[in-house]
Amino acid sequence: MPRKLKTHRATLKERRESAGMRRHRMSEGRPNAGKRGYGGTWRKARRWKLRRNPICEKCLNGGQLVAASEVHHIVPLDEGGTNEFENLMSLCRKCHARMTKGGKRSG
């Protein structure tokens, strides 16, 4: 019978340290997701957009069929954008990363 490969399982101490680092990174001057406009309304709009447009809109314009996994605001919320259908784009992870690279937005 083949032996099962061992995997590293984080200890309780390691998990607590990891969670502490996440909290520390998130508390460095950036408001939480809800305060930035990404609460329940956003989650519903995101889910609805991905159901209506499950293909990456950028890839589709380039002639490729790639599943969308993320939703992008065309006009950012902090610049007056909304969660309305017309202001959202369904994108694959690669296209979304390209559009928001380094915190800069390129439409």
Asked whether residue 65 carries a pLDDT value surpassing 70, the answer given is: yes
**49 backbone φψ class: left, alpha, beta (φ>0; ψ -120 to 50):** alpha
Q: For residue 66, tell me if it sits in a domain.
A: yes
**Across 38-54, average pLDDT:** 91
Task: Say how far apart CA 6 and CA 33 lie, in whole Å.
Answer: 37
**In this structure, which amino acid lies at residue 71?**
V
Q: Write out pLDDT tens, residues 6-38.
A: 555 667 777 777 666 666 555 667 777 777 777
**Across 65-91, average pLDDT:** 93
* Beta carbons of 68 and 53 less than 8 angstroms apart: yes
Q: For residue 20, tell me if it sits in a domain.
A: no
- The per-residue pLDDT for 64 is 92
Q: For residue 44, tell me if it sits in a domain.
A: yes
Element (H, E) at 88: strand 88-91
Q: For residue 19, tell me if it sits in a domain.
A: no
Total count of domains within the chain: 1
Share of the chain above pLDDT 70, in %: 69
Residue 69, domain extent: 40-107
Asked whether residue 85 carries a pLDDT value surpassing 70, the answer given is: yes
Q: For residue 80, tell me if it sits in a domain.
A: yes
Q: For residue 3, tell me if it sits in a domain.
A: no
